[in-house]
Structure 1
């Protein structure tokens, strides 16, 4: 039987994986290699590369944690991945703002709201808002060509991958 904590952790984990895939795709589009991130990033591409590496580490830690052990930690992981995706979108968009950048920033703000304060990943309204903005960010990244088309374009897959 799935507990509420497990269900919350899975929802946050799915959002984190989706945002991480968006970050990877935007970095790839911008020609950013995460392995080349310097210890002290001094540019937007370097910050995006570093954030992507940190996001990968957070996802690995989340994957190794017991199921549902800490929904707040899973929500913070989703927040960090969304922030990495926003940095990567800034680098990929270049000097001209794009819808993919706007939705990446909105997804990052929504993920932050869902993860912080008294919400701690457990507020249904904030979680739903974060999921919806992630879906919109995925759609915009696909439209921009950073992500491949949805596996089943008819159903408008909610997350990347």
Structure 2
């Protein structure tokens, strides 16, 4: 896979997302994750999801895929804002905005028939909020 293609960028983003997620989950399995690290993981996962949505949309081209791509891009932007700034992952309003942006992204991805993996701060720190992985359609 060429790194400059959407598929190559997606593969790279997924690899980059997986390492910190593994480290975060292994570092303190019974403790709440560090908010900054959690926000970075959510940002990386949202960016990877946006790239995957771009690949899927280019292959599918349907209106549902376009809606899912747009929602994934909005989610990625909100996650990036929440992970940045002077208090990464610690601003409740930015975290809430990122979580709120994830909801339509997840719904649009499911509508497009895609498998959904969720990585928002709320869901990572409150497992009862929603299941982290949805079953394939």
> If the TM-score is normalised by the length of the shorter chain, which range does it land in?
0.7 to 0.9
- The alignment status of 1:93 with 2:70, answered yes or no, reads no
Change over 3 Å in CA distance of 1:69–1:136 after alignment to 2: closer
Question: Is the CA contact 1:135–1:158 (under 8 Å) kept in the aligned structure 2?
Answer: no
Matches within 5 A, 1:1-150: 41-66=3-28, 67-68=31-32, 70-94=34-58, 96=61, 98-147=66-115
Larger RCO: Structure 1 or Structure 2 (Cα < 8 Å, ≥ 6 residues apart)?
A: 1
Question: Is the CA contact 1:47–1:87 (under 8 Å) kept in the aligned structure 2?
Answer: yes
2:105 is paired with a residue of what secondary structure? helix
Deviation of 1:159 (Å): 5.8
TM-score by length of 2: 0.75
CA distance in 1, matches of 2:102, 2:92: 15
Structure 2: segments with no counterpart, 5+ residues: 117-129
Question: Is the CA contact 1:75–1:120 (under 8 Å) kept in the aligned structure 2?
Answer: yes
Runs ≥4 residues deviating over 4 A: 157-160
TM-score by length of 1: 0.65
